[in-house]
Each structure stands twice: as C-alpha cells, then as structure tokens.
Amino acid sequence: AQKITQTQPGMFVQEKEAVTLDCTYDTSDQSYGLFWYKQPSSGEMIFLIYQGSYDEQNATEGRYSLNFQKARKSANLVISASQLGDSAMYFCAMREKYVNGGATNKLIFGTGTLLAVQP
Amino acid sequence: NAGVTQTPKFRVLKTGQSMTLLCAQDMNHEYMYWYRQDPGMGLRLIHYSVGEGTTAKGEVPDGYNVSRLKKQNFLLGLESAAPSQTSVYFCASRAPTGFHGYTFGSGTRLTVV
C-alpha cells in the first residue's frame, strides 16, 4: 500500500533562515505525483508545490522548492527565507492514480509537520 | 466564486443522532473526496467518488455513508454519530486532468458529545 511518512512532528526556524521539511514515500507505481500543502491556524488547505514522478527537474514555486530524490523515495520541502506567516502545519501527499485498474486519483497524506517561525 | 463549499461549518451532535454534510462544487469536477482530520493523524480518506452515481470506500469508511446523485454534490452521512467521529471533515474535488487540480473546502468541525 502507498504510504507517506513525515518524521518531524514539529520544527522551529528563525525568521529569514531556510528550513527543510522531510517527506518519504512508499509506492510500487511508476507514475505518481507528490504534493505539499500548507494549513495555517485558520484551517484551510493551501496547495504549495507539485512534483511528478517523471519530472527531471526539482519543482520550484517562489520561496518553495521540492528536493526530489527518486531513488531514496524522498520529496523534501525547502522553504527559503522563512517568514512569520510561514508558521503553519505542512502536509506531504501523494496521488494514487489507480486502484485495481480503475482511476481514483486519491491523495494520501502524511501526518504533517508543525512549523514555527521565530522572530 | 468558483470552488468547493461545505455546509455546515460547525455542528455539535449528541451520540446516536444523524446528520448529513454537504459538499458542493461548481467546477464540473469528476472526482470528489471526503477526508477527516484528527490531531497527529493527518487527513484520512473516508469515501470518494470518480463520477456522478459512483462511490467507493476509502481508508476509514466505517460509520459513514455517501451519495453522489448529482455531479456537483457529494453528501457524507452519519447514521448514528459516535464520539469517535468528532473531527474536522474536508471535502475536495479534482478535474480529470491537471496535476494541481485538487480544490479543498474550508472544512466542517463536528463535535459528538
């Protein structure tokens, strides 16, 4: 079964510093997608970044980059120049495209990392 | 505004009561999902639908039922609520193509006492 593992329940980072949030995944599929979502204290789920399993370049979106190491099955999120507004829960997720030959496109989530940015 | 709307946003139920959570999307998305979020456990999939008239079980389906009679609506039912169903419920939808096509609702906070 597909699984996402986030081993850091909580992280602290100083404002303006970079931080890496870890994510490892387990799948037997050749084609899959990896996502990172941010959930601030207000509760909404905010999409940050996506990496496809066949993408050769690491994905980047502004201050967010995804360090994709396919052989190690890791998809770590790097936030550069942290801001106070980055304090939130961060979820790594993987898309499971098919189950028993039928398309499902289910998102499987990790347990999350709570990031606190300190001034 | 286009998106996913969940109603209600908050609800308190007594053990044994029933209720229905409504998820409505106006983006003509085929795929719809119901998740529950509990502290330390991330989001877990309850049920999902790959199109109008279809439903399937997810990771934690026990105690819930769903229906997708219309493409834009995905209903989550609790027939006899239990305290273990106290959670935040999220609905999401996705278009058939597009890698970041998941749109989430704002969530429903349900407390069962």
Cα B69 to Cα B46: distance, rounded to the nearest angstrom: 18
User: For position B99, what pLDDT does the model report?
Assistant: 58
Q: Which of B30, B34, B37 to mutate to test the interface with A (most CBs of A within 10 A)?
A: B37
Are B51 and B71 spatial neighbours (Cβ–Cβ below 8 Å)? yes
pLDDT (mean) for A59-86: 97
Q: What percent of chain A has pLDDT over 90?
A: 86
The two three-digit tokens of residue A95, written as one number = 């898309």
Contacts of A34 (CB under 8 A, 6+ apart): A23, A25, A50, A51, A52, A53, A66, A68, A75, A92, A93, A94, A95
Q: Does the structure show a pLDDT above 80 at A104? A: yes
Measure B56 CA to nearest chain A CA, in Å.
9
Q: What is the rounded average pLDDT for all residues in chain A? A: 95
Whether residue A105 and residue B31 make contact (CB cut-off 8 A), yes or no, is yes
Are A77 and A36 spatial neighbours (Cβ–Cβ below 8 Å)? yes
Residue B108 or residue A97, greater confidence: B108
Measure A15 CA to nearest chain B CA, in Å.
25
Residue of chain B with shortest Cα separation from A8: B40
User: For position B1, what pLDDT does the model report?
Assistant: 59
Whether residue B45 and residue A112 make contact (CB cut-off 8 A), yes or no, is no
Are A29 and A83 spatial neighbours (Cβ–Cβ below 8 Å)? no
B101: left (phi over 0), alpha (psi -120 to 50) or beta: alpha
User: What are the tens digits of pLDDT across the range A17-68?
Assistant: 999 999 999 999 888 999 999 999 999 999 999 999 999 899 999 999 999 9
pLDDT tens per residue across all 113 residues of chain B:
569 999 999 999 999 999 999 999 999 999 999 999 999 889 999 999 999 999 999 999 999 999 999 999 999 999 999 999 999 999 999 987 765 679 999 999 999 99
Cα B43 to Cα B22: distance, rounded to the nearest angstrom: 18
